[in-house]
Amino acid sequence: MSDKTHLVDEITGHRRMRRNRKADWTRRMVQENRVTVDDLIWPIFIVPGENIVDPIKAMPGVYRLSVDKAVEAVKEAADLGIPAVAPFPDIEMNLRDATGSGILDPNNLINRFTSAVKKSVSNIGVISDVALDPFTSHGHDGILRDGVILNDETVDQVVKAAVLQADAGADIISPSEMMDGRIGAIRRGLDAAGHQDVGIMSYAAKFSSGFYGPYREAINTGGLLKGDKNTYYVSPANGTEALRDAALDVEEGADMLMVKPGLPYLDICWRVKEAFGLPTYAYQVSGEYSQIKAAAMQGWIDEERVMMETLLCFKRAGCDGILTYFAVDVAKKLAKA
């Protein structure tokens, strides 16, 4: 019998959501999503030289590592069970030029990292980004002529670079420059070079975002960039356009899709997963990481709690995994639990 002294409705008052939340064991029984180490992809910054562990100011806890140090770190990540790493190179300024020609050096920093990892670490995948921005003197992802980022010329170069990255041992090529037609072109290029088993994780929906700020400090592209990337990245205002862009990538042969940034774009994650059913990943980008770190360092939020909550939210939004700078911290925490 309902208690007439309370305002809870007599009929609906029988439907009590709190029954399933009443104890730790009921909460575990009804838990719909979980973060596991298999969900983690670790983006890692590489610098030339040896024995270098260089902190990135805007990303406390994240370092630029020389290849030798990076290989040690990747070994640790593999031992923790992290399935893949995604290297981003901080290229020497004197090797950057207007066309990003350094990306065509088979022995460039990203390829040296990949072959070193493949030589000495087993059981971890290398997901190799193939945009030109670390290699250009203007910080754009493509070839710049007369103020315009050239689509088809950039794609030609990206295809060649992708083949070199696969030659170096990259397991998955991950084009992030948002040129049109790149996925199909890369697929044909890889196949022609005998790399049928190398996959493509497309940055299917990459938004023109302010959340990339700290990353640009990490690889020193921020100071170089003139203007913005609005002529090739998707506007944060446009969800349906992002879906059309992803649809083209699926048609052209992407094996996996990525949404970037992550948390402010969970609607896109959900829509992409629902629409295509492909393995779908979110990139929790540098600005998302730094926001959490900064607030935690002020004592305003509980870092570990918020870190785990954000990752769980990606899972709830349909993601199969997350690229996150927290990957190693999370893997360690999960190993302890």
Binding part of the chain for ligand PBG, among 45-53, 106-114, 125-133, 142-150 by CB under 6 A, reads 125-133
- Compute the least distance from the CB of residue 44 to ligand PBG, in Å: 11
Residue 276 near ligand PBG by CB under 6 A: no
Q: Nearer Cβ to ligand PBG, position 122 or 230?
A: 230
Kindly report the backbone phi and psi dihedral angles of residue 205, in degrees, each rounded to the nearest multiple of 5, phi listed first.
Answer: -130, 95
Residue among 260, 273, 293, 315 flagged as catalytic:
260
Residues 168-187 that bind ligand PBG (CB under 6 A): 176-177
Binding part of the chain for ligand PBG, among 5-13, 116-124, 212-220, 294-302 by CB under 6 A, reads 212-220
Distance CA 188, CA 197 (A): 12
Q: Nearer Cβ to ligand PBG, position 33 or 156?
A: 156
226 is catalytic: no
Distance CA 256, CA 202 (A): 6
229 is catalytic: no
Residue 271 near ligand PBG by CB under 6 A: no
Q: Which amino acid is at 42?
A: W
Residue 286 near ligand PBG by CB under 6 A: yes
Distance CA 201, CA 277 (A): 14
**228: which residues sit within 8 A by CB, 6+ positions away?**
208
Residue 229 near ligand PBG by CB under 6 A: yes
Q: Nearer Cβ to ligand PBG, position 33 or 153?
A: 153
Residue 141 near ligand PBG by CB under 6 A: yes
Distance CA 32, CA 145 (A): 50
Residue 131 near ligand PBG by CB under 6 A: yes
Q: Nearer Cβ to ligand PBG, position 62 or 116?
A: 62
Residue 133 near ligand PBG by CB under 6 A: yes
Cα-based distances in Å from 309 to 153, 301, 315: 42, 12, 10
Judged by DSSP in three states, 169 sits in coil
Which listed residue (215, 265, 281, 314) binds ligand PBG by CB under 6 A?
A: 215
* Number of other CB atoms surrounding residue 23 within 10 Å: 10
Sign of CA dihedral 94, 47, 326, 83: positive
Which listed residue (42, 45, 212, 232) binds ligand PBG by CB under 6 A?
A: 212
Residue 216 near ligand PBG by CB under 6 A: yes
Distance CA 162, CA 184 (A): 12
- Compute the least distance from the CB of residue 173 to ligand PBG, in Å: 13
Residues 91-120 that bind ligand PBG (CB under 6 A): none
- 254, two tokens: 């992407």
Contacts with ligand PBG by CB under 6 A: the residue count is 13
Q: Nearer Cβ to ligand PBG, position 215 or 326?
A: 215
**148: which residues sit within 8 A by CB, 6+ positions away?**
231
Q: Nearer Cβ to ligand PBG, position 27 or 143?
A: 143
DSSP string covering 68-105: HHHHHHHHHHHHHT--EEEEEE---GGG-BTT-GGGG-
Binding part of the chain for ligand PBG, among 6-14, 179-187, 208-216, 300-308 by CB under 6 A, reads 208-216
- Return the closest-CA partner of residue 206 out of 281, 154, 261, 278: 261
Residue 285 near ligand PBG by CB under 6 A: yes
* Number of other CB atoms surrounding residue 117 within 10 Å: 25
Q: Which amino acid is at 91?
A: I
Residues of this chain that bind ligand PBG (CB under 6 A)? 129, 131, 133, 141, 176-177, 212, 215-216, 221, 229, 285-286
Q: Which residues are catalytic?
A: 206, 260
